[in-house]
Amino acid sequence: MYPILVADDEAELRKHIVSILRERGYQVDEAADGLEAAQMLAQKPYPLVLCDVKMPRMTGPEFLKHVLENEYSTSVALITAHGNIRDAIHAIREGAFDYIEKPVNEDLLLQLVEKAERAYNMIQKITYSAPMLTPGDGSECVGKSRSMKRVFSLVERLTRVNTSVLIRGENGTGKELVAKAIHYNCPRKDAPFVAVNCAAIPENLIESELFGHEKGAFTGADQRKIGKFQYAAKGTLFLDEIGDTSPATQVKLLRVLQEHAFTPVGSNREIKSDVRIIAATNQDLEKLIKEGKFREDLYYRLNVMPIFLPPLRERKEDIPELVHHFVDKFNQEHGSRILGITPEALLNLEGFHWPGNIRELENAIEHAFVVEASDQITFFSLPEYIRKVTRKFTPLPQSPAPAASVAGGLNFESMDWEKGKEAFEREFIIQALRTNHGRINLTAEQANIPKNTLLRKIKKYNINPKEFGGTVESTELM
């Protein structure tokens, strides 16, 4: 449940706000002034704090300053009387989420809280997919690797300023999601977030796409078009794959960054631009600069605050929590009841090199959901290309082990090849049958064993599929 803290020295108003929010299902706590709110925040994370501007011991702006100085990942919304609106607006520039006037209107209050909750939920979602801000004090975030913590800290700071940002990282590391997170947690959050994939637009159309054009500006321009810069007014323009733009386009982008103005194709009128630029690339821009393919002056304009997203292979300690998140996600999407992942399957995921990064991991978990018949993701439900690369799982048999093995795994005491091969073969089949609830056809398919071979081995090792849930029909052919 989304927890909220309401801080106001006016008990009647405080109780009124608390009552409205609790009726809507929110978990709400109260504080009588700013100092008490600060003490409560130190003990418990609150994604949103609603606090009055004028309070004894610690005012609303002083509480906001306290939150920012201590780097709490908490949104602060101010409750203000009409005469204090200027203070509230100033506080928003300093980092407050929003404000609401007294007397508090129930509809406006709920709109503010729902907007803050949407931003919070987006952070929750993005955290599992890519580096992002975290709820509470950051200790519960997914991404406990040292490199991720550095990214978290930087992204949080970028929500408080209006500078250009350059996000660097391989494909699949979540560059667009990070850009969205910065936008939806900064003062521009109520304005549009517009994403443009520069690599996907033909060179002869990109100027029109970015800056718009007038009717008749070129062949086929049968009507006036608004460009992305104008559409993103007062918001954020995300320029993905900026390294793929041509030198001509780079010149035009540089002009917008320098002069905060642009001219649509075929027009004589100049349009002012109030847009925050967040660019991203997976290319080595420094190398492109040396090769004369990327302008150095544009690079320095964009690279004011760079973010480097680590590839998944460099943050493998985060894989278990990422997997847990994707399991929860696909349980909801597919109506499944997968409880988790077996140690063997997780070991294989941690051993894979993940060239497609988090996007590829998410696809692998969704693949497992489609083919898995048990309540656990197993080695056999992982995509075949991952199984072929890793092959690190250790089957854990439940049936009596042969002479060459002991309970809990293989133990080749005699170092006899034939006995060792048979021991592995038997345990492999037992694990495959257990995973597929003793169903012969599904086991043969998932374990990549010809059905006749599987039946022959079951008979050879005296394995009973019924012990794993198999039906009489599934064993009749033996």
pLDDT in tens, the chain (478 residues): 678 999 999 999 999 999 999 998 899 999 999 999 999 998 888 889 999 988 988 998 899 888 887 767 788 899 988 666 777 777 776 778 888 888 889 999 998 898 888 777 765 554 444 433 432 223 233 455 666 666 666 777 787 788 899 999 898 888 888 888 888 878 888 899 999 999 888 887 888 889 887 776 666 666 778 889 988 999 999 999 999 998 888 998 999 998 888 888 777 788 888 999 999 999 988 889 999 999 999 998 898 778 888 899 888 888 888 898 889 888 888 888 888 999 888 989 998 999 999 889 999 999 999 888 888 999 889 998 898 886 644 444 443 333 333 333 444 445 566 667 777 788 888 888 887 778 888 888 878 888 888 888 888 888 888 877 654 343 444 3
Whether residue 47 contacts residue 120, with contact meaning beta carbons closer than 8 Å, is answered with yes
Q: What DSSP designation does 268 have?
A: -
Which residue matches tokens 């988090």? Answer: 358
Cα of 453 vs its chain's centroid, Å: 44
CA separation for the pair 107, 131 (Å, rounded): 34
Q: What is the dihedral of CA 98, 99, 104, 106, to 10 degrees?
A: -10
CA separation for the pair 18, 228 (Å, rounded): 42
CA 390 vs CA 63, 104, 378, 409, 432: distances in Å: 52, 59, 14, 18, 17
Q: Is the pTM of this model over 0.75?
A: no
